Amino acid sequence: MTAGLWQNWVLPGIWITIQLLVYSAALAAVVAFGVGMARTHSSRFVRFLAGFYTEIFRGTSALVLMFWLFFVVPPLLGWQLVPMWAAVLALGLSYGAYGAEIVRGALNAVAPAQREAGVALSFTPWQRMRLILLPQAVPEMMPSFCNLLIELLKGTALVSLLGVGDVSFAAYLVRLATQESAQIYTIVLVIYFVLAFLVTRSMKALENKTKRNIGISVAGGASK
């Protein structure tokens, strides 16, 4: 593969893939925590709405949702989403629904005595969530969030079907230009592996930090 193809297609494709991952992950995190906390709300109506959202988006193909946002929404609303943002919305909303179940499960795993202590201290529901439940639940979410983030990274390859110039689409263009499949797709496999490895290490560091914040010992050094 020539240097020109690498500089003009592959490197910009890697950058677009990273942008897609960051933007989609940010949206998915907002959705996950918002809907996940709503799943534990005292109001049955709020829990129903959150559960309804979760079931809808977990049961919907991210690819079909992406096409729906790009091709169906414009005639309905009279405005067009650019492919990049249609992809971000589809991925963020879909993976956020899976993340919501991670948040719900981690919050429900916190010992009931911790909730009772917050009530005894006259904390509001938001104070109990912010000061007691989330600090203990977040470290338990990290391994599952790491797996979900890796899946999201691989899911960004779907955007190539909308013509977004991510690394998968760049590989397709290079294959057409050079008629060499083995080299370019081997390179792309390595690129995804390196990105996934960096995500894994970053999430592990974040997990250790959240554990140290609540006094849990981690490998490589006990908390003081």
Mention every residue, 6+ apart, whose C-beta is less than 8 A from residue 82. Answer: none
Q: Give pLDDT tens digits for 87-143.
A: 999 999 999 999 999 999 999 998 888 888 888 888 888 888 988 899 999 999 999
List the chain pLDDT tens, one digit each, 224 residues: 566 777 777 888 899 999 999 999 999 999 999 999 999 998 999 999 999 999 999 999 999 999 999 999 888 888 888 889 999 999 999 999 999 999 999 999 988 888 888 888 888 888 889 888 999 999 999 999 999 999 999 999 999 888 888 899 888 888 888 888 888 889 999 999 999 999 999 999 998 988 888 777 776 544 43
How high is the pLDDT of residue 220?
56
Instruction: Kindly report the CATH class assigned to 3-213.
Output: mainly alpha
How high is the pLDDT of residue 223?
40
Alpha helices, DSSP H only, in 39-82? 44-58, 62-67, 73-77
Helix (H) or strand (E) holding 140: helix 134-155
Domain extent listing, the chain: 3-213
Mention every residue, 6+ apart, whose C-beta is less than 8 A from residue 104. Answer: 36, 39, 40
How high is the pLDDT of residue 219?
62
